[in-house]
Amino acid sequence: MQSSIVIFVFVIIGATLYEDVQGAKTCKEQISDMTKMQMTMMSKCAKSMKFKNGKEKAAKSMCIMKCVLKDVGMLDETGRTGETQFKTLVAKFFEKPEHQDYVFNVLNPCQVEHGPSMDPDEEFCKSYDPFIKCLMGKLMQVCPPGA
């Protein structure tokens, strides 16, 4: 499950690496650089949830991902996502409009298909799983060929 969480975070935050801010690194190299930051976010979320034990942490692993989604701005104050959150998040990390359009078009179908079924009041956050799996499936499409 932890590897799935890492892959998911690559989609959400690692997607931001498509923007060639430094000019010299490829998308894959930048994703590698972001691993430490991503792990920090997951750790912060897990610690903030103050799980009683490992069993509870495992049962609520999707809640950790929900926390990461919220921290990066993909969820609104009600715990839901939508086109507005996607556009805001993409614009936050990508300066060039063509990059914003590319990443938005890759990831947005996940929120269209799975966003409405998210239940922010669900104890184990399982309704976020299809959305997260969809984003994970889009991971390889975030970096375009040659990026």
| Structure confidence at residue 1 (pLDDT) | 55
Query: What is the domain partition of the chain in residue ranges?
Result: 2-142
pLDDT along the chain (147 residues), means of 10: 53 51 55 66 93 93 92 89 86 74 88 94 95 85 67
Tell whether pTM > 0.85: no
CA 63 remoteness from chain centre: 13
| Structure confidence at residue 14 (pLDDT) | 53
| Structure confidence at residue 22 (pLDDT) | 45
Fold of 2-142: Recoverin; domain 1 (1.10.238)
77: amino acid identity, one letter: E
The Cα–Cα gap between 147 and 139 comes to: 14
